[in-house]
Structure 1
Amino acid sequence: MTEPRRLHAIPGGRDESPRRQPEQPEPLWRELLGGRLRALRREQRETLAETAERAGISPQYLSEVERGRKEPSSEMIAALAGALGTSLGGLTGQVAEELRTLRLPAATHHRGASQVPMLRAA
């Protein structure tokens, strides 16, 4: 009986050794922003309609932003922050901190904690 014919090795193909499992992908900024907006709104016990009205947008659009489906402009983010009693800087700082915290364990797993890069605004 003859062996099955072997095809040329393709990078990442079945003929090579198993590759390392990919790391969990980073969440998108809009997903974290939406989750933070929803958390702030719920902490204040407001409906989508109440917050959306103060921000000057539709409740449907706010719902999509909260679910991370829409990428709002900086003007829209500022309006939502104001409607929720915070500032654009405060809101983006909270989201950035959450993103940094989520990535910290994976980053320190491969490098020393002192080597984790920090993003700074220009």
Structure 2
Amino acid sequence: MSNRLPNDARVVPLRPPAGRPAAPPRQGPPAPAAKEPLWRDLVGDVLRRERLAQERTLKDVADAARISMPYLSEVERGRKEASSEVLAAAAQALGLGLGDLLARAQGELVRVTSRYAGGGRRGAQAASYDGMCLAA
């Protein structure tokens, strides 16, 4: 007697056989929630928007802040997580305080994330935060 298993292939039809109703589609995992923006992206956007509003060049602001132009460019694009000293210098070069820069970034964060939180409900009040927490 042989212990060999039969060599039967399992066939999975691509279409339901004619005359038989199709099985309902399987429910997959829920769609992932939209990703919240990174803090470095928000701060970089605020820096770039303010620089462009003042019609200043990247070199001009970098020189005034005493940081390298490539590094400031990376910070504006959200590629680098800048220290508080670098952010304060860049903000000051633009005529802002560090608190002003961070408050604008926080406002942008609240604005962007309120789109995700309410799920489109009308009349629902978005959460408002009066404080800010930074970790270095």
What TM bracket, shorter-length normalisation?
A: 0.7 to 0.9
The total of aligned residue pairs comes to 112
Query: What is residue 10 of structure 1 aligned with on the other side?
Result: none
Q: Tell me how far 1:35 sits from its aligned partner.
A: 1.0
Q: Which runs of 4+ in 1 moved over 2 A?
A: 1-5, 110-119
Distance in 2 of aligned mates of 1:117 and 1:45: 32
Cα RMSD (Å): 2.5
- Unpaired segments of 5 or more residues in structure 1? 6-15
Match of 1:77 among 59, 75, 87: 87
75 and 50 in structure 1: CA distance in 2 versus 1, 3 angstrom threshold: same
Percent identity for Structure 1 against Structure 2 = 42
Query: What is residue 68 of structure 1 aligned with on the other side?
Result: 78
17 and 82 in structure 1: CA distance in 2 versus 1, 3 angstrom threshold: same
What's the CA shift string for 1:1-45, capped at 9, x where partnerless? 87569xxxxxxxxxx731211121011000111111011111111
Query: What is residue 120 of structure 1 aligned with on the other side?
Result: 131
39 and 117 in structure 1: CA distance in 2 versus 1, 3 angstrom threshold: closer
121 and 32 in structure 1: CA distance in 2 versus 1, 3 angstrom threshold: closer
Distance in 2 of aligned mates of 1:51 and 1:64: 13
Distance in 2 of aligned mates of 1:35 and 1:86: 15
20 and 119 in structure 1: CA distance in 2 versus 1, 3 angstrom threshold: farther
- Unpaired segments of 5 or more residues in structure 2? 1-7, 13-25
The structure with the greater share of residues assigned to helix is 1
Which of the two has higher C-alpha Rg? 2
- Per the normalisation by structure 2, the TM-score is 0.72
Distance in 2 of aligned mates of 1:83 and 1:118: 28
